[in-house]
Structure 1
Amino acid sequence: MADKKPFKNLKPESIKSKKSKPAGVSEKFARLLDIYTRIAQNKYPSAKSLAEKYEVAEKTIYRYLEAIRDIDPIEFDNEKRGYKFVNGDRIKKLILTDNELLLLLTMSEAVSHLGEPLKRSFQELREDVTNVRKVPRADTGSPIVIKMPYAIETEKLSGYFETIVKCINEKRSIDIVYKALHSKETTERRIDPYGIVLYEGAWILIGYCHLKDAVRHFALDRILDLKEKWLYFEPKDSFSLEGHFSLSWGIYDDNVVDVTVRFSSKVAEYITRKEKWHPSEKREILPNGDVELTFSVAGTSEIKHWIYSWIPNVEVLKPEWFREQVSKELSASLENHRRIINSGFST
């Protein structure tokens, strides 16, 4: 039978009392569930580490541990310096049906494109909660393939990713040394990290930059150095990632522009098979079968690349300055192709 000695008798004498922040019922329940899960996952949490995580006194943590011990016996592991369940693993592993295994294969294939940090975390999660130890790779017989760019990875990116995610969850600032891709300029910045987005194979940090006094984007593979800080923040102006990207064609932010494009009837079915290409889209199908789409987007650089993918069956109608810009770029590209052909470089 498990020892029922109160946890307060196990507290190191060097611990000084510290006032806890008040927590509501739902927050207390969330903490209990989180602590239970950490112990069940064999992470061996200590009272000290949990107190720092939740910003409460260690005596509060001991009360949580006492409550957990009433559900399942736990004990302190002197070698691991943290708590574990007396009777071993407490998370029941799932036996999957064929449909559930297919879903797992799909998720595994998708996560394989996201880089090492998420691949590793997904594998650990899969092994923790299922009896499936190894999922077949797509090239050895998986019936599902996800076609998307693989994430850019660097030697340091994996560690940066995990640190940034932790600081996002705990609302703590980070200091970075950043080398911009276009300007090649290297700067030191303090960032309040708000979120991370995967865009065209690159992980992008979205956060408030103290140097620029504004929300900025930072590619993780361009970060030369990163240090987490014990400085807490609250997002500016009730920031949300959804709101931040609401007008962007992709992720970039600029002045809002109303863009109208016309697609020929040759590609009309490809255009209309998708309900919307952007939340702001207004669609008109013309009598001759052509399709006109109007968007309100933050800048034109990203939508322009999409427009170019439909050449020669697309035409920019508005605004006039954007139509002229596209015309000049296409003329320059055509001239380059003609010059190459005339030089005899064609194959």
Structure 2
Amino acid sequence: MDRTERFYKIEKLLRQRKLASFAALQAELEVSRSTLKRDLDYLRTRLNAPIEWNREAGGYRFAETAGLADLAHELPGLWFSSSEIHALLTMQHLLAGLDTGGLLTPHVAPLMDRLNALLGSTNNDAQEVRRRVRIIALANRPARPGHFQTVGSALLQRKRLGITYSARGSGQVTEREVSPLRLVHYRENWYLDAWCHLRRGLRNFALDAISQAHLLERPAKEVNDATLDETFAPSYGIFSGGPVQWAHLHFTPERARWVAHEQWHPQQQGQLQADGSYLLRLPYADHRELVMDILKHGAHCEVLGPGSLRQAVGDEVGKMGEKYS
């Protein structure tokens, strides 16, 4: 940990704990007494941090008399970790896409200002960070802003929704009454996990496929988190429900250099082979999304099992062959 990182960690600890002893700071930073003394002195005398020693409480804290201007002192520029910069820019991307100039703008604008403050500093303002670092969204299907707000309201108020839903797989349009349970952002798109009163079971709905949505006064049916996780979490991708099977995939040495570092599922099991190839096992309940990801690798991925998945991939390859022959 370099000195700049230590400065930020000292500030974070003091803001979180309100009071921190010298021993506690030293243990968190894993530095010598002399190094910590120099850091505290530098923060106070060179960077004007309002840090004081409270003899009665036996620890360091920010001065209680410090105004907002004092607490807004500038620390030297610190670059973000990959997860931090991705989180901040992704949040901006999501907020900007929710409702440009529409109903949510008054609520979104303050959050955007806070994110800009986090991204910016004396050495690099938020606009420059966004210009130099990009989060690229692929296959994004925007949900209607009004519907997003209606779904969100029903979700938090625990009310049922009446929706008109267009199932892309079959092209069928149905009127449904659903109890919203979770909003899920997956692969750049929004989905709603809900209890469908028409089908009398848990279902997943793409928000962009909802053409009409209105709040109902009837209370939503509650489903506990354990049941939701059991239904939606174990299987591969957004298509869930039904018996779980395990896919066995074999990748060539060339493609293994990428796939061995990817996470396809939290419960996946992977093993590099002596020849450099890679064996990947992962659970799935519905093969549709998994087949699409397998086909992206072409001849570099072989489905070893189960037979039904191998057949599904073979059928898709056959259709492609007929189309392009």
Offset at 1:208? 0.6
Q: Contact 2:250/2:304 (CA < 8 Å) preserved in 1? A: yes
Question: In 1, distance between residues paired with 2:228 and 2:94?
Answer: 22
Distance 1:203 1:264, change over 3 A: same
Question: In 2, distance between residues paired with 1:332 and 1:245?
Answer: 30
Please tell me the residue identity of whatever aligns with 2:98.
Answer: E
Offset at 1:149? 2.8
Equivalent residue, structure 1, for 2:307: 320
| 2:98 paired with 1:116 | yes
Question: In 2, distance between residues paired with 1:272 and 1:315?
Answer: 15
Question: Residues 171-250 of structure 1: matches in 2 within 5 Å?
Answer: 171-238=158-225, 242-250=229-237
Superposition TM-score, scaled by structure 1 size: 0.59
- Deviation digits for residues 19-69 of structure 1 (CA, Å, limit 9, x no counterpart): xxxxxxxxxxxxxxxxxxxxxxxxxxxxxxxxxxxxxxxxxxxxxxxxxxx
Percent identity between the aligned chains?
22
Distance 1:291 1:117, change over 3 A: same
Distance 1:125 1:104, change over 3 A: farther
Offset at 1:221? 2.1
Offset at 1:297? 1.3
Question: In 2, distance between residues paired with 1:145 and 1:265?
Answer: 31
Superposition TM-score, scaled by structure 2 size: 0.63
Equivalent residue, structure 1, for 2:259: 271
| 2:170 paired with 1:170 | no
Question: In 1, distance between residues paired with 2:292 and 2:117?
Answer: 45
Q: How many residues align?
A: 243
Please tell me the residue identity of whatever aligns with 1:153.
Answer: P
Q: Contact 1:280/1:296 (CA < 8 Å) preserved in 2? A: yes
Distance 1:108 1:318, change over 3 A: closer
Distance 1:125 1:306, change over 3 A: same
Q: Contact 2:183/2:193 (CA < 8 Å) preserved in 1? A: yes
The answer to which of 249-258 and 276-285 deviates more is 276-285
The answer to which of 204-213 and 159-168 deviates more is 159-168
TM-align CA RMSD: 3.4
Distance 1:287 1:240, change over 3 A: same
Q: Contact 1:194/1:207 (CA < 8 Å) preserved in 2? A: yes
Question: Residues 275-294 of structure 1: matches in 2 within 5 Å?
Answer: 276-294=263-281
Question: In 1, distance between residues paired with 2:116 and 2:295?
Answer: 46
SS in structure 1 opposite 2:176?
Answer: strand
| 2:96 paired with 1:107 | no
| 2:124 paired with 1:143 | no
SS in structure 2 opposite 1:142?
Answer: helix
Please tell me the residue identity of whatever aligns with 2:141.
Answer: I
Stretches of structure 2 that go unaligned for 5 or more consecutive residues are 1-67
| 2:113 paired with 1:127 | yes
Q: Contact 1:173/1:190 (CA < 8 Å) preserved in 2? A: yes
Please tell me the residue identity of whatever aligns with 1:247.
Answer: P
Distance 1:242 1:137, change over 3 A: farther
